[in-house]
Amino acid sequence: MNNPIKTILTLPKGMLLFLGIYAVSFPIAYLETRLAGHSALLQWLGLQPMLVWKGEVWRVLTFELVSASVLGWAINLFWLATLVNILRNDWTSLRFWIFCLVSAVGGAIPLLFIFHETEFQVPVTGAGAVVCALLLAWDRFYHRERIIMLGLGEVSVRQAAIFIIGLNAVITFFSCGGWQFTLSMFCGGALGWLFLMIGNKRVMSRGSRVVESERVARLEL
Domain ranges of the chain: 4-220
Task: Identify the CATH number of the domain defined by range 4-220.
Answer: 1.20.1540.10
Which phi and psi (to 5°) does residue 97 adopt?
A: -65, -45
pLDDT in tens, 18-56: 999 999 999 999 999 999 998 999 999 999 999 999 999
Q: Sorting pLDDT into bands at 50, 70 and 90, what band is 218? A: very low
Least confident of 91-95, 121-125, 214-218: 214-218
Q: Which of 211, 120, 198 is nearest to 190 (CA)?
A: 198
The C-alpha atoms of residue 105 and residue 17 are separated, in whole angstroms, by 20
pLDDT in tens, 173-192: 988 768 999 999 999 999 99
Q: Produce one character per residue of 114-147: b if its CB has 16 or more CB atoms within 10 Å, e if not.
A: ebeeeeeeebbbbbbbbbbbbbbbbbbbbeeeee
Q: Sorting pLDDT into bands at 50, 70 and 90, what band is 203? A: low
Whether the full predicted model's pTM is greater than 0.85, yes or no, is yes
